[in-house]
């Protein structure tokens, strides 16, 4: 941002999903009853680990940011940097889908996912991968 002369704004509503008691724990402890995810889809939007967030709560949280962003005046594209779970929720919300319709596909590190804000032409373009240097 400094090299390009652009501003950076942080927003806690874009953080990754909170896994509560499983935070920083082993991934194999996370199962569909806790995550609400099986395979590449959502099986329970309200499932949550103790002290953590459900997928429904994650989508509502990122939706507040998307709605705020849509109300801002800006020229050109806006870059939003997030973790995979938040990105999936943003894509889902911007596509006008319910949490139960969210795809839990692979979101590669460093991938770029162009997304249109609600109320604009609703297309999601496949990601572009950046070569690692």
Q: What is the pLDDT of residue 72?
A: 87
Q: Name the pTM for this structure.
A: 0.83
CA atoms of 46 and 53, how far apart (whole Å): 9
Nearest to 79 by CA among 2, 5, 9, 126: 9
Summarize pLDDT for 47-80 with one digit per residue, the tens.
Answer: 999 999 999 999 999 999 999 998 888 777 888 9
């Amino acid at each position: 941002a400094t090299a390009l002369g652009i501003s950076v704004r942080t927003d806690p509503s874009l953080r990754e999903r909170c896994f509560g008691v499983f935070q920083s724990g082993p991934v194999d402890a996370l199962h569909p009853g806790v995550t609400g995810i099986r395979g590449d889809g959502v099986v329970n939007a309200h499932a949550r680990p103790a002290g953590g967030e459900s997928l429904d709560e994650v989508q509502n949280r990122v939706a507040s940011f998307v709605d705020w962003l849509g109300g801002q005046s800006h020229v050109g594209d806006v870059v939003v940097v997030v973790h995979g779970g938040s990105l999936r929720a943003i894509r889902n919300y911007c596509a006008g889908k319910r949490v139960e319709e969210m795809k839990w596909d692979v979101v590669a590190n460093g991938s770029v996912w162009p997304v249109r804000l609600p109320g604009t032409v609703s297309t999601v373009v496949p990601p572009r991968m950046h070569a690692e240097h």
